């Protein structure tokens, strides 16, 4: 088990929120870059995310970041660094753009580290026990999560079933326009609603209610979690102080 996987999910979630809120107050690219590097290290060695997977998980945030950087650099007023045609890149624009882009990356990598180290079941048990989430919502979410995993397969089955009567395209394969997609989506919706009604009844007939309940295999919550929280908040404070 990786170091982060052994820690309490509610504490980890709280720390992700704390880091995210802290970044909202920052507009200094250097401080944010330091936080990003620390976040990458936490995901790689704390949550045990493999190098390749970690890299792939960053792509959406980088893509978003590049967009934010370009828009800000070219649209903010300030000292002009480069001008060409209708475009002019300003110093202020670059700095603010880089800060906003890095902010997204920090929140992103913190979330990746959190999700990679937290099984859904542990998160819900912990949120019910330590954050007073209603068990009705928590277990409905867990059952929904289980159903979600089966959706791609069901979609493939429904698509194939619907294509049997579709007209053939020029390449000899069945072809349907957006109407076909809409029909398949409707069939999937009907199937999902029926399934979720049955799951809801199964949960209720097993006694799931808002009342008090016990937990067979609770998620631990102890001194190590306090150490983790203290450590993360301390480092955060140090970085913020160094950047100020």
Partner 1 sequence: MPADAGAVLDVAGLEAVLDGGAGVGPVDLRLAPGEQVLVLGPSGAGKSTLLRCLHGAVPHAVPARVRGRVAVAGRDVAEHGVAALADVVGVLAQDPETGVCLADVADEVAFPLENLGTPPAAIGPAVGAALAATGAAHLAGRRTDALSGGELQRVGLAAAVVTRPRLLLLDEPTSMLDADGVAAVRAALAAARQATGAACVLVEHRLDALAGDAGVAGLPGRWVVLSADGRVTHDGPAAEVARAAGPELLARGCWLPEDVELAVTLGGAPGDGGQHDRVLALADAVSRGPAPRTAPAPPGEVLLAARGLAVGRGRRRGRRGPAPEPVLRDVDLELRAGEVVALVGANGAGKSTLLACLAGLLAPLAGAVDGPRAGLVVQNPEHQLAGRTVRAEVATGLPPGPATDERVAASLTRFGLTPLADRDPHRLSGGEQRRLSLAAMLVHDRPVLLADEPTFGLDRHGTAAVLGALADEARAGRAVLLTCHDLRAVASAADRVLVAAGGRLVAEVDPLALLRAPGLLAAARLRPSLLLRRLAAAVPDAARLRAALAALDARALGGATGPVGRAAEPVA
Please report, as ranges, the residues that interact with partner 1 according to CB under 8 A: 120-121, 135, 139, 142-143, 145-147, 149-150, 156-158, 160-168, 173-174, 183, 187, 190-191, 195, 197-209, 211-218
The least distance separating partner 1 from the CB of residue 187, rounded to whole angstroms, comes to 6
The least distance separating partner 1 from the CB of residue 225, rounded to whole angstroms, comes to 20
Q: Which residues contact 10 (CB under 8 A, 6 or more apart)?
A: 123, 126, 127, 129, 130, 131, 221
Nearer to partner 1, 67 or 119 (CB): 119
Nearer to partner 1, 168 or 226 (CB): 168
Nearer to partner 1, 3 or 120 (CB): 120
The least distance separating partner 1 from the CB of residue 219, rounded to whole angstroms, comes to 12
30-62 in b/e form (b: 16+ CB < 10 A) is: ebbbbbbebbbebbbebbbbeeeebeebbeebe
Nearer to partner 1, 133 or 195 (CB): 195
Nearer to partner 1, 170 or 206 (CB): 206
Nearest Cα residue to 126 out of 8, 13, 227: 8
Distance between CA atoms of residues 56 and 177, nearest Å: 33
Backbone phi, then psi, for 29, in 5-degree steps? -55, -35
Distance between CA atoms of residues 16 and 75, nearest Å: 31
The least distance separating partner 1 from the CB of residue 192, rounded to whole angstroms, comes to 11
The least distance separating partner 1 from the CB of residue 5, rounded to whole angstroms, comes to 16
């Amino acid at each position: 088990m990786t170091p982060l996987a052994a820690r309490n999910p509610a504490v980890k979630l709280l720390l992700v929120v704390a880091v995210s809120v802290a970044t909202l107050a920052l507009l200094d690219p250097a401080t944010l870059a330091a936080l990003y590097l620390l976040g990458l290290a936490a995901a790689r060695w704390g949550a045990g995310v493999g190098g390749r997977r970690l890299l792939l998980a960053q792509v959406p945030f980088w893509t978003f970041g590049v967009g934010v950087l370009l828009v800000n650099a070219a649209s903010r007023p300030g000292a002009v660094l480069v001008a060409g045609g209708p475009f002019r890149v300003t110093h202020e624009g670059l700095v603010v753009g880089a800060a906003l882009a890095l902010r997204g990356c920090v929140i992103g990598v913190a979330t990746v580290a959190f999700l990679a180290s937290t099984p859904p079941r542990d998160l819900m048990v912990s949120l019910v026990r330590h954050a007073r989430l209603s068990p009705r919502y928590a277990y409905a979410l867990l059952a929904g999560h289980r159903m979600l995993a089966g959706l791609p397969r069901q979609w493939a089955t429904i698509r194939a079933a619907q294509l049997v009567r579709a007209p053939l395209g020029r390449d000899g394969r069945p072809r349907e326009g957006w109407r076909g997609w809409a029909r398949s989506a409707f069939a999937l919706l009907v199937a999902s609603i029926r399934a979720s009604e049955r799951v809801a009844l199964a949960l209720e007939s097993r006694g799931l209610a808002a009342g008090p309940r016990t937990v067979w295999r609770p998620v631990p919550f102890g001194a190590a979690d306090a150490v983790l929280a203290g450590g993360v908040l301390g480092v955060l404070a140090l970085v913020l102080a160094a950047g100020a």
